[in-house]
Structure 1
Amino acid sequence: MRKRMIALMAAVSAFASSEAGAETLYVSNERGNSVSVIDAASMKPVATWPVGGRPRGIAISRDGKYIFVCASNDHAVQMIDRATGKVIANLPSGEDPEQFFPSRDGKLLFVANEDNAALTAIDIASRTVAFQVDVGKEPEGVAESPDGKWLVVTSEDENEVNWIDLSTKAMVEGMPTDQRPRHVEFTQDGGQLWIAAEIGGTVQIADVVTRKIVETIRFAPPGVKDYLVLPCGIRFTPDGKTAVVALGRANVIALVDVATRKVTAYVPVGKRVWHLSISGDGTRAYTANGLSDDVSVVDLAAAKVIATVPAGQGPWGTAVAP
């Protein structure tokens, strides 16, 4: 019986590894003006694509055909053909785009414009601006609620999250947060909004119905000074059970149990981990390490790095797809 159990566990582990290994990882390199393409099976870079100035936010279109990347210095979101790696369009994003969110229906891109305090919605098919909403100063993180009712945008300068009613395309509330909120993620059920406050050193959880903060999570990685703990990227595993939080210059990611809201593990990764992505099967995290110019591949079950992959200069964000 024991031998059979060991064989079964090995088979499950091998299957999970093969699922994650079938993917491709895309990394925006902020100082390198490029996107690194990494094969998840070999955990090696296979291509480098030149893009516009200071690429930061990066995501894959809902249909999987394109990569979108914020070319912040060029004031555009660039649309890249995944098959060729060629930029096929510069979308009109507004000034200094940093992060964006592809709408859940795949028709729009919601882009935060850091310099002109606005949220720009781009119609992907026509490559034109669909609408704009004024928001707080230095907007960065963007997310759409699973039910399509809310669009939220962080205002770093004003220490708040702006709630936009998508039915009216109007901002209805600026909810106070800890200092410099950088990133936001809705839980799968849409009931909670998780907010990474960089200078506050916290992740705050808001109840979506009341639009109030209900809990604040603090972090204490062993041997790391408090001022280096700078939460930024947050991603949930596909089963919704674990939140993976990038802690910036702490050079660590935190694994948080979503149900209990407790940190279950800290994993040391590369230098200045800013954003991350999760493999489709939920077994791995891929972290963009901006000062060590690499990507850490983390086995989430074991809570340890299993590979370090070179990227371009200043990795900022990652996106993963089959």
Structure 2
Amino acid sequence: MQAAMKEDGLRTRLHCLLFGMAAWLAAATPASAFIAYVSNEKGNTVSVIDTNSWAVTKTIKVGQRPRGIEFTRDGKLVFVAVGDDDSIQVIDVAKQEVVDTLPSGPDPELFALDPDGKLLYVANENDNTVTIIDVEKRARLGEIQVGVEPEGMAISPDGKILINTSETTNMAHFIDTATRQIVANVLVDARPRFAEFKRDKSEVWVSSEIGGTVSVIDPEKREVTDKISFQIPGLRSEAIQPVGIGMTKDGKTAFVALGPANRVAVVDATSHKVTKYLLVGQRVWHMAFTPDEKYLLVTNGVSNDVSVIDVAAQKVIKTIQVGELPWGITIAQP
């Protein structure tokens, strides 16, 4: 009887130990591992980050001044805009090397893929145009004349409207993708850098670096309905420069990179109120969520690193050293 009771007690302790170890391993290991590609503007490289180990696993040599970067819809290729080479380079994810080049205009910076992944719209900063590229044919289909120094690019979830922001004209241009014509010009604050649609297409947000605001635009009325401003104790207003924007799929929470303020603002995307500021690396620029939205990775240009933000906890949990002057980032499943 006593021997049986001892054996039962041993089994219970063993089960508890195994359960505890399993729980610890689940907490210590990300639920899914993803791959991030980071463009290093001054290093002329792309850093590959494994989100399982939170480490750089490969550094890929690319052209001069890489900035805008994005995976293709199937995750097999990565496009990177190499501004000083006036082209879009194509990285094969399996080979982890540049395998092709797409034609663009002078000094491509940011670009957007249409929802089907068939067309690439590229902002060419030096000639005030948006180039349209057929991805499969690797051919340029045409150009759209926009404002001075175009940069930000966003496409509506249904693919019908393309937004381009022009830094010097201080406008968000609404482009009909069917006719390839500008249908509206919305004035925003100084030096608009980035545009982001809500998934339900109810709003498009445009960051203004020098203006220090994010303009909330109604895409149907094509007018600014609200402006988000930022105040950080101890920092001068001119040091707070909104650039990259990331928004959760449910449209409830947004994150805004504030450049040399070295902060990411957490914003209630319904009320448009800032709820928190997260201290990150120096000169935070662009960002990307992991597909499960557990983490948000942001590039810090001056400190040459990437900060990892736990989205639910809203705190920075890791810093990863990358190449020189990290600028853009894109993430897909391995």
TM-score class, shorter-chain normalisation, is over 0.9
Instruction: Give the match for residue 22 of structure 1.
Output: 33
Structure 2 residue corresponding to 1:256, chosen from 257, 267, 281: 267
Task: Tell me which amino acid in the other structure corresponds to 2:183.
Answer: V
Task: Kindly indicate whether the alpha-carbon contact (under 8 Å) linking 1:238 and 1:281 is maintained by their aligned counterparts in 2.
Answer: no
Structure 2 residue corresponding to 1:278, chosen from 275, 278, 289: 289
Distance 1:287 1:248 in 2: 11
Structure 2 residue corresponding to 1:288, chosen from 284, 299, 306: 299
Once the two structures are TM-superposed, the CA of residue 311 in structure 1 deviates from its matched residue by: 0.3
> What SS does the aligned partner of 2:30 have?
helix
What CA deviation, in whole Å up to 9, does each residue of 1:189-227 have, x standing for no partner? 011110000000001100011100000000112332211
Task: Tell me which amino acid in the other structure corresponds to 2:30.
Answer: S
Instruction: Give the match for residue 153 of structure 2.
Output: 142
Structure 2 residue corresponding to 1:126, chosen from 129, 134, 137: 137
Structure 2 residue corresponding to 1:205, chosen from 210, 216, 230: 216
> What SS does the aligned partner of 1:141 have?
strand
Instruction: Give the match for residue 258 of structure 2.
Output: 247
Task: Kindly indicate whether the alpha-carbon contact (under 8 Å) linking 2:115 and 2:158 is maintained by their aligned counterparts in 1.
Answer: no
Distance 1:149 1:87 in 2: 31
Distance 1:15 1:112 in 2: 42
Structure 1 residue corresponding to 2:202, chosen from 186, 191, 197: 191
Task: Kindly indicate whether the alpha-carbon contact (under 8 Å) linking 1:54 and 1:71 is maintained by their aligned counterparts in 2.
Answer: yes
List aligned pairs for 1:82-93, cutoff 5 A.
Answer: 82-93=93-104
TM-score (norm: length of structure 1): 0.94
Distance 2:249 2:225 in 1: 23
> What SS does the aligned partner of 1:195 have?
strand
Distance 1:111 1:24 in 2: 24
Structure 2 residue corresponding to 1:227, chosen from 238, 248, 251: 238
Instruction: Give the match for residue 114 of structure 1.
Output: 125
Tell me whether 152-161 or 82-91 shows the greater mean CA deviation.
82-91
C-alpha spacing 1:215/1:14, structure 2 compared with 1 (3 Å): farther
> What SS does the aligned partner of 2:69 have?
strand
Distance 1:131 1:15 in 2: 50
> What SS does the aligned partner of 1:18 have?
coil
Which is greater in Rg? 2
What CA deviation, in whole Å up to 9, does each residue of 1:87-119 have, x standing for no partner? 111100111000001111110111000000000
State the percentage of identical aligned residues.
Answer: 47
Instruction: Give the match for residue 188 of structure 2.
Output: 177
Q: Which runs of 5+ in 2 are unaligned?
A: 1-18
| 1:72 aligns to 2:87 (yes or no) | no
Task: Kindly indicate whether the alpha-carbon contact (under 8 Å) linking 1:17 and 1:283 is maintained by their aligned counterparts in 2.
Answer: no
Instruction: Give the match for residue 320 of structure 1.
Output: 331
Distance 2:232 2:131 in 1: 37
Equivalenced residue count is 313
Instruction: Give the match for residue 3 of structure 1.
Output: none
Once the two structures are TM-superposed, the CA of residue 235 in structure 1 deviates from its matched residue by: 1.1
Moved over 3 A (4+): 13-17
Once the two structures are TM-superposed, the CA of residue 120 in structure 1 deviates from its matched residue by: 0.5
Distance 1:42 1:239 in 2: 28
Distance 1:14 1:244 in 2: 27
Task: Kindly indicate whether the alpha-carbon contact (under 8 Å) linking 1:79 and 1:87 is maintained by their aligned counterparts in 2.
Answer: yes
Once the two structures are TM-superposed, the CA of residue 240 in structure 1 deviates from its matched residue by: 2.2
Task: Tell me which amino acid in the other structure corresponds to 1:277.
Answer: A
Task: Kindly indicate whether the alpha-carbon contact (under 8 Å) linking 1:33 and 1:54 is maintained by their aligned counterparts in 2.
Answer: yes
Instruction: Give the match for residue 309 of structure 1.
Output: 320
Instruction: Give the match for residue 15 of structure 2.
Output: none
Instruction: Give the match for residue 4 of structure 1.
Output: none
Distance 2:69 2:201 in 1: 23
| 1:56 aligns to 2:70 (yes or no) | no
Once the two structures are TM-superposed, the CA of residue 79 in structure 1 deviates from its matched residue by: 0.8
C-alpha spacing 1:117/1:41, structure 2 compared with 1 (3 Å): same
| 1:163 aligns to 2:174 (yes or no) | yes
Two-structure CA RMSD over aligned residues (Å): 1.8
